[in-house]
Structure 1
């Protein structure tokens, strides 16, 4: 992996993607575009700080060396964004714009951290699901040499801005694991660092030309396999 760009590098999953890439010998250059500086640093990191997200596509287009792979864990919550309309601008519009910029820049592999359960008969109508589905479909239509969509369940981990609902979900999933075993826990939620490692591992497989499909959807069980069972740091 010569040059890899991480979007959403200051978020729960994205920060783990960044640290995993910086620790990996297989990645020569790690680039980020973010509103604020990432907490993890290293000699391989080229961090672009741009508070205005409207400029991110242009910043991506100007990256040197041009990335061969982009990993997007970019997203926010309705509460943090101040409503569904503002969340849509980040989770959908910005991701689609950046994917288009990546394609125009010649990026070969695009990895997107999406969400499980968005395409069910009822759930597909929900605004959150429509955002994720829209990004997934746009990435597919762009026809990257390799597109990888990760669909984790509940994301387990300590968020920078914790909230009571998130803490409750974490406790429920951990409790289920203690009662019913690791397999039951893995089926419902995955740790943020495992999801991140799965994204990096999948990108590495794509770089080696060994991905099982041009449009590779990685569901929860394969996230655990790639990010924990088969992970080599």
Structure 2
């Protein structure tokens, strides 16, 4: 059975992902690396609490078959764009470097729709930069997920996201806007596990429609599979 490593295990996608992995018969151990205790009822989940400023002191934690990188914060939570970049880019890149050095085969990243290292948006720029830099680390397989707004129950209130989650589902029914519709964190987590347990090599990027097809696209996809 395989060993999965998860950073960002207390977040919206990460917590749902840990639940998925804990139920999988193909996963023997789930190592969750967190900044605060994150106990889980499943015996196969091994939570390790570390100071992310000292990740380099814990290379032994990044030994396994796959690394799921789900770490994320907001500028408001972090206090500044620089502090947000420390979490969303620096910590995740260092974790990826440690995993690559230990021979982890598969790296799976929750990025963002519109991620672009050349973007004028500081958020999209750091997401794009991380994508580019992990591609250079030599993982045999890299899977990048680019969802739009993530919705679901969080352990803290994000007012902007709450308002967007109320407005966007209706707004995104308009032609041309479906690509920006919200997606639940549980849906992204389920797709990540599905990809992790499938075969493949190289770099693959999953956009919103590939993670969770729109209602209009689903029947067409079903027809294509039936041919």
> 4+ residue runs of structure 1 moved beyond 4 angstroms?
183-187
Give yes or no for the alignment of 1:63 onto 2:56: no
**Alpha-carbon distance in 1 for matches of 2:78, 2:107:** 25
Deviations 1:109-161 (A, max 9, x none): 1001000012397xx12111111111101111112010111000111112211
Residue matched to 1:95? 92
Residue matched to 1:4? 4
Residue matched to 1:224? 212
Q: Which of 91, 107, 111 matches 2:104?
A: 107
1:96 alignment partner, SS class: helix
Asked whether the equivalents of residues 173 and 185 of structure 1 are also in contact (C-alpha less than 8 Å), the reply is no
**Alpha-carbon distance in 2 for matches of 1:111, 1:79:** 26
Deviation at 1:63, TM superposition (A): 2.7
Deviation at 1:186, TM superposition (A): 6.8
Asked whether the equivalents of residues 157 and 170 of structure 1 are also in contact (C-alpha less than 8 Å), the reply is no
2:135 alignment partner, SS class: helix
Deviations 1:178-219 (A, max 9, x none): x66xx97675221100011111111111xxxx33x5001011
Residue matched to 2:52? 53
**Alpha-carbon distance in 1 for matches of 2:56, 2:196:** 21
Q: What is the root-mean-square deviation of aligned Cα atoms in Å?
A: 2.4
Residue matched to 2:37? 37
| Structure in which a larger fraction of residues adopt helix | 1
Asked whether the equivalents of residues 153 and 187 of structure 1 are also in contact (C-alpha less than 8 Å), the reply is yes
Asked whether the equivalents of residues 117 and 128 of structure 2 are also in contact (C-alpha less than 8 Å), the reply is no
Deviations 1:67-115 (A, max 9, x none): 1100000111100001101001111111111111110111111001000
* Within-5 A mapping of 1:122-141: 124-141=119-136
1:142 alignment partner, SS class: coil
**Alpha-carbon distance in 2 for matches of 1:184, 1:147:** 28
Query: Relative to structure 1, is the Cα distance of residues 188 and 174 closer, same or farther in structure 2, using a 3 angstrom cutoff?
Result: closer
Q: Which of 179, 194, 207 matches 1:201?
A: 194
**Alpha-carbon distance in 2 for matches of 1:166, 1:11:** 14
